[in-house]
Amino acid sequence: MNRPAPGDPRAARTRARLRKALFEECAERPLEEVGVAALVRRAGVGRATFYVHYDGLEALAVDACADVVRDAVEALHAWRGRPDPVHAPPALAEFFASLTPHAALYRSLLAPGGGGPLGRVLHRDLRAYSLRERELAGAADAPLVASAVAATFAGVLADWLHGLLDASAADIADQVWQLLVALHASR
């Protein structure tokens, strides 16, 4: 089956409708209980159209949650100058607070410890961003620190979403920030 061109506005609208329908379905039931038939009915598209755009519900869910990854990367880098070693940038606390409405969906895609399909995307994107920044700064330890930053953030985020860390959004933002600042300063 041919996939639509990436810049095709009709395809973008269809994917947006499918993502919206998925969030609505997941507000009513866990992802594991969502069926393609109910999803396409809610989105107002045909089953074949769904499969033109996605290989399955997990692929749609990861795509729908990809904005979370971009938001996380941006929130972690939303500071200028010298970072405050104790308090996270406000964007990071706002990021954690923004997860609440769809926390169950994120939990289904992000396993404790940071694994799962969303965890892999988060780790990949955050590591790449961190690696670029460390290399631009001329850090010899760029690959090591980039991997540590990505793994630490993905793991803490996942564990917080799964209730393994008891903290408010603001507190977990400060705590993970302190860990990341320490990783950058340790080498």
SS (H, E, C) the chain: CCCCCCCCHHHHHHHHHHHHHHHHHHHHCCHHHCCHHHHHHHHCCCHHHHHHHCCCHHHHHHHHHHHHHHHHHHHHCCCCCCCCCCCCCHHHHHHHHHCHHHHHHHHHHCCHHHCHHHHHHHHHHHHHHHHHHHHHCCCCCHHHHHHHHHHHHHHHHHHHHCCCCCCCHHHHHHHHHHHHHHHHHCC
% of the chain at pLDDT higher than 90: 57
What is residue 27's predicted lDDT score, i.e. its pLDDT?
87
Mean pLDDT of the chain: 89
What radius of gyration, in Å, describes the C-alpha atoms of the chain?
18
Q: What is the mean pLDDT of residues 115-140?
A: 90
What is d(CA 32, CA 177) in angstroms, rounded to the nearest whole number? 33
Query: What is the structure's pLDDT at 138?
Result: 85
- The separation between the first and the last C-alpha atoms of the chain, rounded to the nearest angstrom, is 49
The larger pLDDT score, comparing residue 8 to residue 88, is at 88
pTM of the shown model: 0.82
Q: What is the pLDDT of residues 150-162, one digit of tens each?
A: 999 999 999 999 9
